[in-house]
A and B are shown apart, each in its own frame.
Chain A
Amino acid sequence: MIRILDAGPQTTVQDLGRTGQMRYGIPPSGPVDRFAFVLANRLVGNPDTAAALECTLMGPRFELTAAGAVAVTGADMPVTVNGQAATGWRTIAVKAGDVVKLGPARTGVRSYIGFAGGIDVPLVLGSRSTYLRGRVGGLQGRALRKGDELAVLASGPVTPRRVARDAIPDYAIEPTVRAVLGPQADRFTEDGLRALFGGRYEVLPQSDRMGSRLRGARIEHTRGHDIISDGIALGSIQVPGDGQPIVLLVDRQSTGGYTKVATICSSDIWRVGQARPGQSLRFQAVPVDEAHRLLRESDTVLESAVREESA
């Protein structure tokens, strides 16, 4: 059992997300940073599909009622166990009664806490992920609160592991995220596209799991910003009438009527979700086959990221 002593501003249960529900208007949800999420699970010996916690800007403080293992990845939040500093990106063995705390993020936005066995909340439409706006999944469809208790599924003994240093992202840098043009790139002027791929865009505080709102040089339309509503893919860069981009994330609306100039590669989308308000990023256009190569490359990094601790 996990007993929540302090929840942090927005801590939710997430697994890899739901599939097949977008045709009913229900988004996939799941982790904004899938890379860090998967590693949190692998560090505690879980399958990638196990449910873990996603914490936003500041982590929770919680007590474990049984011995086991946890791991913290993602945004750099200082971790303590019973007040003693512990290290992220590696397996942390815990005893019954241990109190784990994650402080405010020094870099990045979202941290993940994996628990050996995985969090046991009911499957809703095939997933344990919390969709906050739709009030489904996770713990009663909401963010965690002080006093909540979460069950953890049984697990075997956990081999201590760590993530290789060179696989740990630096969230403090200004990232260049790759994007594939379209579906409505033809609705933008050459100047508009030059602005998008030439300048820096700053992340605004109104960003959440639905989308990251950005501000920078205006991305100019050729003729109006409305389209016949269509489906919205993960990482779509939607540009309404003000010419400012919104990058749509895991809790996005399933369809919409604004033009989408380009779509961020799945290998890079986590970088947008980890960029803090005030931080800036740049875009680079790539063709679809290059985006697929980048995905294979990031799969390879993920496969070789976790090592067993040397004795």
Chain B
Amino acid sequence: MRFLPAGDLAVCVELGEAISVEVNTRVRALEFLILQKGLTGVVETVPAYSSLLVYYDPRAIGYEPLCGAITELVPQATTAVLPPPRIVELPCCYDDPELGFDLAAAAKRLELSSEDLIRLHAGAEYLVYFIGFTPGLPYMTGMPERINIARLDTPRTKTPPGSVGIGGIQCCIYSVESPGGFWILGRTPAPLYDPGASEPTLLRPGDRVRFRRIGRAEYDAIGAAVAARSYEPVIS
């Protein structure tokens, strides 16, 4: 473990130097303990793959005492302290080239049928390591090795929100319109980021995500419900 100063208002607590479920679980457990115990002087926390950024108020606690208090929590930071994860079902329409515009090309590159690619992608359960970069964007693990694919040679400048893509061993869901180099297999009508909602972001660190394959008619129906603010995401 290392404490890396990030200016005078934050410290980066690095729990490992690799991307793994084990390290990330300890990051989320440490965050949970810090928030649960209301550690003096802590203002907010940002989990990432293998580190936790802890914002603090130096008027309330010094750098060394803060690092000391965090160090004491680290041995307890295991899966055991975390509440059971939420399981979020994300409807995803793969079967429309307008939405999953790279599906056929990605299948060809992977030497799979489109049907098998969809089945492999939708059949997996994904873990949200953390949310970052843009509002509500999940960094996830859990993609089957068989659909590991080099990113696009030329990233596109615009990808519509809700686009579900693969690149490397990552699955990405764009939360807002952004550039990017992922192969887009489909699109979810469930808003990952809705600035008008009381809780604008759908996913949280530690969530499990399952994709449910839907057709274009259901995609449009859910889209209409989202627009009418009557859509309820399926979370268990």
Query: What is the interface of chain A, defined by CB distance below 8 A to chain B?
Result: 19-26, 125, 133-136, 141, 179-184, 228-236, 253-256, 260, 263-267, 288-289, 291-292, 294-296, 299
Contact = CB atoms under 8 A, between A and B. Distances in A.
Contact of A26 (B45, B49, B50, B200): B200
Contact of A182 (B6, B59, B62): B6
Given A20-B44, A24-B131, A230 B175 contact: no
Interface in B6-57: 6-10, 12, 14, 17-19, 31, 43-53, 55
Contact of A134 (B55, B131, B135): B135
Contact of B46 (A134, A180, A255, A291): A255
B33 to A, nearest CB: 15
Contact of A231 (B46, B135, B200, B201): B46
User: Majority SS of interface residues in chain B?
Assistant: loop
Contacts of B47: 23, 231
Given A182-B4, A288-B5, A25 B135 contact: yes
Given A229-B132, A230-B48, A24 B7 contact: no
Contacts of B174: none
A204 B82 CA distance: 45
The 6 closest A-B pairs by CB, nearest first: A231-B53, A255-B132, A263-B7, A231-B46, A291-B8, A183-B4
B5 A183 contact: yes
Nearest to B130: A255
Given A24-B136, A228-B18, A232-B53, 10 more contacts: A181-B5, A228-B50, A230-B50, A230-B53, A231-B132, A233-B9, A255-B132, A263-B7, A263-B10, A289-B63
B176 interface: yes
B30 to A, nearest CB: 13
Interface residues of B, number: 46
B205 interface: yes
Contacts of A291: 7-8
B141 to A, nearest CB: 13
B76 interface: no
11 contacts: A24-B136, A24-B201, A182-B5, A228-B19, A229-B49, A230-B48, A231-B132, A233-B12, A253-B133, A254-B132, A266-B8
Nearest to A265: B8
Contacts of B126: none
Nearest to B10: A233
B210 interface: no
A295 B5 CA distance: 16
